[in-house]
C-alpha cells in the first residue's frame, strides 16, 4: 500500500505538501501494478533455525526449530509445507539430511551426532524447494563447530605463518599432535597432503619432533586461497586421519569503495561507503587520504567498525580521485575511486532519525525538465512508499515516517522518466510496533542445583496479548559461552542477513545497542553489502523468470508411462510398499501418460514398488518417475566463522561433555563405537553381495549367482528342475510340499502376488537366495510360509533411490519425513537420582504456545553444575511479529 509523504521539498527553501498516491493511469502506477502482480506470482521465503546452543561435541544432539516466513509480509509462510535441513561437513558433503513437514511455516527436528563423526567446522543448511529458485545465497547456512574428545585419540593444534614472495603465497603450518591429556606424539611419522581448492600443492612424510610437531611448507600461486591439510598418523597400529583447514594463504586485504546510490557525479556531493576485508572474509580497519589527479589531498578517512566506514566527496569537474590506503601492518596502497560521471543523479538517505527517513535526490543541470522521476521504497516486493518527483529543480528533499515501514531492509529505487532504475540504496528499519514483547513473571535471581524452575511469560504486541509459537533453550554459560556479537538469532536472520548476499561478520552487534555508533555502523553495512534485488527490467518488460522448482505442499510420487516412446493412456498404475506394514493404492494415467499419487505421507527409508500396465493389461511399458535433483552443496561462504583448532577452542565444553557422556555410557543410555586396529584381509568372499536377506547376506539354503544365470534366458527356466524341492507352475515358484507360491523379495521389497518370476530380466540379477527351511523362512513371518526367493539386482543394490528392473516395474526409495525425537528433561521432585546431572543443554522446548491471554508456562530442573544459566526465548505470531528475549539467573 502506498503511504503519504509527510513533506516534499523542492530547491533549498520551497516547502510543498505532496501526496504519495498516484493516478491509476500514471506510469508509476503501472510500474507498481506490475510489481504487485510479480510478487503475487513469485513470493519469497526466508528461513531461520533456532539452535539450542552455538557449538557441539560428537555424541551430542543438535536440537532446532525452524521458522519459515513470507519475504514480503514477514508472516509465517503458507507457500511450502516441507523443509529440508542438512548437516554438511568440511568436505562440503552432506552428512545427514532431514525432510520435515511444516505447518504455518513452523517445524522442528534434531540431529544425533554419532561418535564416528570427525571434529571440525560443520554447516547447517535449510531451505524449501521453492527457495531453490532464488539460489543458495538465500538459504539458511550457518557454520557450527563440533568438537570430539570422547571418541578421539589424537588432538591437533595448528599455527600458520603467512608470507608473500612475488606472486606466490607461502604458508608455514606447524601442527602439534597430542593425546587427550596433552602429551605429544613424539617421533611419530605423519603422512600429509595439502590442498588448495581441489588441487594438491604439497605432499610428503615427516617425523614429529619431541613436542609432537611437524612443519609443513605450502606454496600457492593459484587463484584459490583456501584449502586444507589431510594428515594421517599411526597410533597403536591404528591409522588416524585429521583434516585441518587452511583458511587462507594470502595476507592481502581487499578494499572497495561504494558510492551511495551507485555512481559518483560531477558537482553532486556523495557519501561513499568503505569496506576492507582480509582473505578470510573478516574486516580490517584502515585509514588513508583521498587525493585528486594533481596529487593534492582532498580529505582523510578511516574505517571505524569491522573494516567499514564512509566519507563524503563533492567531485569537481575534470578531476579523478584515488585513495591512498594505509593498512594495520604499515604498508600502503593506492586504489582508484569509482569513475566520476559528467551527468547523472545522486540518491542520498539519512536514516539516523528514530522517527523518520530523510531522502535527498540530486541531478545535474543538463537533466532539468527531462520528465518526472519516480521513487519507490519496497521490502521484498511490498511497497511502503512511492512518489513522482519533478525535475524542475536540482534538489528534492523528502521525509517519511518510519512507523509506516516494516522492520528489516527497505530498498529505495529511483527511476527516470522511462521507468529505468538509475539509483538504488538500502536502509535498515527497526520498527518497535512489529516486535513481540516478552515479560517473565516469576523468574528468580538464583536457584539451587537441581532446583525446579517454573517460569511464566506474557507475550504482547502494542500492549495487547497475543498467541504465538515460541522456542526455548536453556544453557549454562560456564559450559556454553555465548558469543554475543556473533550470535545468529531470529532477528539477525529474518530481518537482516536473509536479504543480504555474502558473509556478514558479527550480525548481532547491530541489535545489541541502539545508539548512534551502532546505527552508523549498520548504515555502513547497508552501503557496502550486496542484497536481494528486484529485477526491475524483467518486471517492466513483463518477463517472468524461469522456475525450476515448485512449492511442495505434500509428498507425492508421480511419473509417466510410455510404450514404444508413446504415452500410455488410461494405463493402470499401482503403488505399494511393505515397509512398516502393507500399503497399496492405484490410479490411471492421463492422456499424456502421466500419473500421480498425491497427498501421501511416509517416513524416511520407506521403499515403494511402482507397477504399470496398459489398459489391455500389457506389462511391456516403461515407467519414468519424476525425480527432483538434489541441491548442490556450494562452498562455505562463512569463512570468517571457520576455526582451525576446533577442539582446543571448545575444550572446556568438551571436558564437561565427556563427563556427561561417560555417565550416560555407564547407565547404558549411550553406545560407543569401538575402532578396530588395522588388519590385512588376505581373502574375502561374500556369496550374496548387497543382499537384503533378513537372515544376513548368503544365509540361505541355496545361492544362485549371476554366473550361474549367464546362459539362462529366464529365471523360471533356470529354476525348473535345477533345485531340489522346487517346481515352477504358471510363472511362479513353489516348494514341492506346498500349495502356496514362494514369496519374492526384490532388493528388500516384498512383491505383490501377481509378480511373476519372469517380470524381471534375468541379466539384471546379481544373486537369488533360496529360503526353504523354517530356520531361514521364520524371520519373514507369514510371508515366508511358502518359502522365499530373495533377489538382489545388479542395479538395485539398495544404494539407489530409483531402480528400473524390468518393463512395467520400478522400485523407489524417496526421502521420507524424519520422525522427531523428544528432548529428555528429568523431574527430580518425583524421581530423585543419585547419579550426577551434567547436561550441557539444560532445557529445550521447540513449540511453546501462548494462550489467548498471551501467557505461556514452562517447567524444568537445573543440573548439578553451578553457574549463570541463560534462557533464550524466540518466537513468532500469525502476523509475523518476532520475539527474542534473553534472561539469566544464578545456580549456586
Say yes or no to pLDDT of 671 above 70.
Answer: no
Look at 127-136, 728-737, 758-767 and tell me which has the smallest mean pLDDT: 758-767
What pLDDT, on a 0 to 100 scale, did the predictor assign at position 669?
A: 66
Share of the chain above pLDDT 70, in %: 93
Contact 615, 581 (CB under 8 A): no
How many C-beta neighbours within 10 Å does residue 855 have?
Answer: 14
Say yes or no to pLDDT of 288 above 80.
Answer: yes
The contacts of residue 80 (CB under 8 Å, 6+ apart) are 45, 68, 102, 128, 129, 130, 131, 551, 552, 553
What pLDDT, on a 0 to 100 scale, did the predictor assign at position 673?
A: 58
Helix or strand run (H / E) with residue 344: none
The DSSP secondary-structure symbol of 764 reads G
Closest by Cα among 276, 280, 271 to 288: 276
Mean pLDDT score, 601-605: 90
CA torsion angle 795 799 802 803 (round to 10)? 20
How many C-beta neighbours within 10 Å does residue 183 have?
Answer: 9
Contact 452, 829 (CB under 8 A): yes
Say yes or no to pLDDT of 4 above 50.
Answer: no
Look at 54-63, 238-247, 371-380, 718-727 and tell me which has the smallest mean pLDDT: 718-727
What pLDDT, on a 0 to 100 scale, did the predictor assign at position 10?
A: 31
C-alpha cell, 539: 518486471
Helix or strand run (H / E) with residue 329: none
Helix/strand/coil for 832? coil
Say yes or no to pLDDT of 679 above 80.
Answer: no
Look at 194-208, 268-282, 545-559, 780-794 and tell me which has the smallest mean pLDDT: 780-794
What pLDDT, on a 0 to 100 scale, did the predictor assign at position 757?
A: 86
How many C-beta neighbours within 10 Å does residue 291 have?
Answer: 18
The secondary structure of 679-733 as a DSSP string is: ---S----SSTT---TT-TT-SSEEEEHHHHTT-S-HHHHHTTTSTTEEEETTEE
What pLDDT, on a 0 to 100 scale, did the predictor assign at position 217?
A: 95
Say yes or no to pLDDT of 225 above 90.
Answer: no
Say yes or no to pLDDT of 404 above 60.
Answer: yes
Rg (Cα) of the chain, in Å, rounded? 33
Give the CA distances from residue 744 to residues 572, 712, 748, 770, in Å, rounded to whole numbers and listed in that order: 22, 19, 10, 10
Mean pLDDT score, 484-507: 96
Closest by Cα among 360, 361, 367 to 341: 367
What pLDDT, on a 0 to 100 scale, did the predictor assign at position 682?
A: 45
What pLDDT, on a 0 to 100 scale, did the predictor assign at position 19?
A: 38
pLDDT tens digits, 41-69: 888 999 999 999 999 999 999 999 999 99
207 CB-contact burial (10 Å; exposed 0-12 / middle 13-18 / buried 19+): exposed
Which sign does the torsion angle of CA 27, 32, 38, 44 carry?
A: positive
pLDDT tens digits, 97-106: 999 999 999 9
Look at 48-57, 69-78, 311-320, 544-553 and tell me which has the smallest mean pLDDT: 544-553
What pLDDT, on a 0 to 100 scale, did the predictor assign at position 198?
A: 80
Give the span between the Cα atoms of 274 and 860, in whole angstroms: 49
What pLDDT, on a 0 to 100 scale, did the predictor assign at position 670?
A: 66
Say yes or no to pLDDT of 683 above 60.
Answer: no
pLDDT tens digits, 790-807: 998 875 444 446 666 568
C-alpha cell, 453: 524452575
What pLDDT, on a 0 to 100 scale, did the predictor assign at position 656?
A: 86
Helix/strand/coil for 366? helix
Cα angle value 337/338/339 (rounded, 5°): 115
Say yes or no to pLDDT of 890 above 90.
Answer: yes
- More reliable by pLDDT, 130 or 718: 130
The pLDDT mean for the chain works out to 89
Mean pLDDT score, 659-678: 66
The DSSP secondary-structure symbol of 52 reads S
Say yes or no to pLDDT of 14 above 50.
Answer: no
pLDDT band at 833 (very low <50, low <70, confident <90, very high): confident
CA torsion angle 111 114 115 118 (round to 10)? -70
Owner of C-alpha cell 527490467 = 537
Give the span between the Cα atoms of 313 and 270, in whole angstroms: 5
Mean pLDDT score, 502-514: 96
Q: What is the pTM of this model?
A: 0.86
Say yes or no to pLDDT of 385 above 70.
Answer: yes
Say yes or no to pLDDT of 584 above 80.
Answer: yes
What pLDDT, on a 0 to 100 scale, did the predictor assign at position 295?
A: 95
What pLDDT, on a 0 to 100 scale, did the predictor assign at position 1?
A: 37
What pLDDT, on a 0 to 100 scale, did the predictor assign at position 184?
A: 96
pLDDT tens digits, 538-547: 888 888 788 8
pLDDT tens digits, 107-147: 999 999 988 889 999 999 999 999 999 999 999 999 999 99
What pLDDT, on a 0 to 100 scale, did the predictor assign at position 221?
A: 85
pLDDT band at 571 (very low <50, low <70, confident <90, very high): very high
Helix/strand/coil for 123? strand
Give the span between the Cα atoms of 452 and 849, in whole angstroms: 21
Mean pLDDT score, 257-261: 97
pLDDT tens digits, 159-207: 999 998 888 999 999 999 999 889 999 999 999 999 998 889 999 999 9
Residues in the chain: 892
Give the span between the Cα atoms of 102 and 108, in whole angstroms: 8
Amino acid at each position: 500500500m502506498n503511504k503519504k509523504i509527510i513533506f516534499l521539498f523542492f530547491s533549498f527553501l520551497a516547502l510543498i505538501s505532496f501526496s504519495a498516491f498516484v493516478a491509476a493511469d500514471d506510469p508509476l502506477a503501472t510500474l507498481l501494478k506490475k510489481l504487485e502482480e510479480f510478487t503475487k506470482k513469485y513470493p519469497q521465503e526466508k528461513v531461520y533455525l533456532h539452535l539450542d546452543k552455538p557449538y557441539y561435541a560428537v555424541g551430542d544432539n543438535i536440537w532446532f526449530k525452524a521458522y519459515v516466513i513470507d519475504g514480503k509480509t514477514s508472516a509465517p509462510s503458507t507457500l511450502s509445507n516441507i523443509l529440508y535441513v542438512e548437516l554438511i561437513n568440511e568436505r562440503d558433503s552432506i552428512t545427514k539430511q532431514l525432510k520435515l513437514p511444516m505447518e504455518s511455516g513452523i517445524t522442528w527436528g534434531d540431529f544425533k551426532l554419532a561418535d564416528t563423526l570427525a571434529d571440525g567446522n560443520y554447516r547447517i543448511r535449510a531451505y524449501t524447494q521453492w527457495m531453490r529458485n532464488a539460489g543458495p545465497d538465500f538459504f539458511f547456512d550457518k557454520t557450527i563447530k563440533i568438537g570430539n574428545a570422547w571418541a578421539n585419540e589424537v588432538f591437533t593444534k595448528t599455527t600458520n605463518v603467512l608470507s608473500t614472495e612475488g606472486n606466490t603465497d607461502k604458508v608455514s603450518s606447524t601442527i602439534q599432535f597430542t593425546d587427550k591429556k596433552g602429551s605429544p606424539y613424539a617421533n611419530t611419522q605423519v603422512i600429509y597432503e595439502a590442498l588448495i581448492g581441489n588441487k594438491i600443492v604439497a605432499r610428503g612424510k615427516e617425523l614429529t619432533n619431541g613436542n609432537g610437531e611437524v612443519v609443513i611448507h605450502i606454496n600457492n600461486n593459484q587463484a584459490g586461497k583456501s584449502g586444507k591439510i589431510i594428515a594421517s598418523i599411526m597410533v597403536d597400529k591404528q591409522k588416524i586421519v585429521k583434516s585441518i583447514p587452511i583458511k587462507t594463504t594470502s595476507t592481502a586485504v581487499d578494499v572497495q569503495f561504494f558510492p551511495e546510490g551507485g555512481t559518483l557525479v560531477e558537482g553532486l556531493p556523495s557519501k561513499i561507503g568503505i569496506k576492507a576485508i582480509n582473505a578470510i572474509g573478516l574486516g580490517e580497519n584502515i585509514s588513508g587520504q583521498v587525493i585528486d589527479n594533481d596529487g593534492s589531498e582532498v580529505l582523510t578517512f578511516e574505517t571505524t567498525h569491522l573494516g567499514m566506514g564512509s566519507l563524503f566527496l563533492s567531485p569537481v569537474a575534470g578531476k579523478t580521485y584515488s585513495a591512498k590506503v594505509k593498512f594495520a601492518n604499515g604498508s600502503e596502497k593506492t586504489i582508484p575511486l569509482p569513475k566520476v560521471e559528467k551527468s547523472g543523479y545522486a540518491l542520498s538517505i539519512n536514516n539516523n532519525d528514530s522517527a523518520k527517513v530523510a531522502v535527498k535526490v540530486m541531478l545535474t543541470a543538463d537533466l532539468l525538465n527531462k520528465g518526472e522521476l519516480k521513487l519507490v521504497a519496497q521490502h521484498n516486493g511490498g511497497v511502503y512508499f512511492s512518489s513522482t518527483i519533478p525535475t524542475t529543480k536540482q534538489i528534492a528533499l523528502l521525509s517519511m515516517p518510519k512507523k509506516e515501514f516494516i522492520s528489516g531492509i527497505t530498498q529505495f529505487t529511483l527511476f527516470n522518466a522511462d521507468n529505468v532504475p538509475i539509483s538504488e540504496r538500502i536502509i535498515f528499519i527497526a520498527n518497535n510496533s512489529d516486535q513481540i514483547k516478552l515479560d517473565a513473571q516469576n523468574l528468580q535471581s538464583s536457584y539451587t542445583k537441581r532446583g525446579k524452575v517454573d517460569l511464566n511469560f506474557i507475550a504482547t504486541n502494542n500492549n495487547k496479548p497475543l498467541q504465538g509459537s515460541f522456542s526455548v533453550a536453556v544453557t549454562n554459560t560456564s559450559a556454553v559461552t555465548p558469543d554475543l556479537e556473533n550470535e545468529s538469532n531470529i532477528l539477525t536472520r529474518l530481518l537482516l542477513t536473509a536479504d543480504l548476499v555474502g558473509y556478514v561478520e558479527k550480525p548481532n552487534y547491530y541489535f545489541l545497542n541502539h545508539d548512534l555508533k551502532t546505527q552508523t555502523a549498520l548504515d555502513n553495512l547497508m552501503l557496502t553489502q550486496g542484497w536481494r534485488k528486484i529485477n526491475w527490467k524483467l518486471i517492466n518488460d513483463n518477463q517472468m523468470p524461469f522456475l525450476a522448482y515448485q512449492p511442495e505442499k505434500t509428498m507425492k510420487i508421480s511419473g509417466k508411462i510410455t510404450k514404444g516412446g508413446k504415452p500410455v493412456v488410461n494405463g493402470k498404475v499401482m503403488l505399494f510398499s511393505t515397509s512398516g506394514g502393507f500399503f497399496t493404492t492405484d490410479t490411471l494415467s492421463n492422456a499424456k501418460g502421466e500419473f500421480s499419487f498425491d497427498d501421501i505421507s511416509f517416513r524416511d527409508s520407506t521403499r515403494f514398488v511402482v507397477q504399470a500396465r496398459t489398459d489391455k493389461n500389457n506389462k511391456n511399458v516403461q515407467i519414468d518417475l519424476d525425480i527432483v535433483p538434489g541441491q548442490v552443496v556450494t562452498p562455505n561462504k562463512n569463512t570468517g566463522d571457520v576455526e582451525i583448532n576446533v577442539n582446543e577452542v571448545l575444550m572446556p565444553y568438551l571436558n564437561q561433555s565427556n563427563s556427561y557422556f561417560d555417565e550416560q555410557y555407564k547407565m547404558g543410555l549411550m553406545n560407543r563405537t569401538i575402532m578396530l586396529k588395522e588388519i590385512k584381509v588376505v581373502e574375502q568372499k561374500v556369496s550374496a553381495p548387497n543382499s537384503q536377506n533378513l537372515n544376513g547376506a548368503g544365509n540361505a539354503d541355496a545361492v544362485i549367482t549371476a554366473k550361474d544365470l549367464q546362459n539362462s534366458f529366464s529365471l523360471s527356466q533356470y529354476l525348473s528342475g535345477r533345485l531340489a524341492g522346487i517346481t515352477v507352475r504358471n510363472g511362479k515358484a513353489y516348494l514341492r510340499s506346498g500349495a502356496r507360491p514362494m514369496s519374492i523379495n526384490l532388493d528388500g521389497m516384498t512383491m505383490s502376488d501377481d509378480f511373476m518370476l519372469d517380470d524381471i530380466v534375468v541379466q539384471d540379477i546379481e544373486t537369488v537366495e533360496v529360503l526353504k527351511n523354517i530356520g531361514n523362512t521364520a524371520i519373514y513371518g507369514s510371508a515366508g510360509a511358502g518359502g522365499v526367493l530373495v533377489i538382489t539386482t545388479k542395479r538395485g543394490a539398495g544404494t539407489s533411490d530409483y531402480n528400473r528392473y524390468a518393463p512395467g516395474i520400478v522400485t523407489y526409495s524417496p526421502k521420507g519425513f524424519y520422525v522427531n525425537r523428544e528432548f529428555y528433561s528429568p523431574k527430580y521432585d518425583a524421581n530423585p537420582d543419585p547419579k550426577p546431572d551434567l547436561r550441557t543443554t539444560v532445557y529445550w522446548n521447540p513449540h511453546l504456545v501462548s494462550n489467548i491471554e498471551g501467557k505461556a508456562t514452562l517447567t524444568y530442573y537445573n543440573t548439578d553444575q553451578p553457574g549463570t544459566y541463560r534462557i533464550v526465548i524466540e518466537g513468532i505470531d500469525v502476523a509475523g511479529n518476532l520475539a527474542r528475549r534473553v534472561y539469566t539467573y544464578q545456580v549456586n
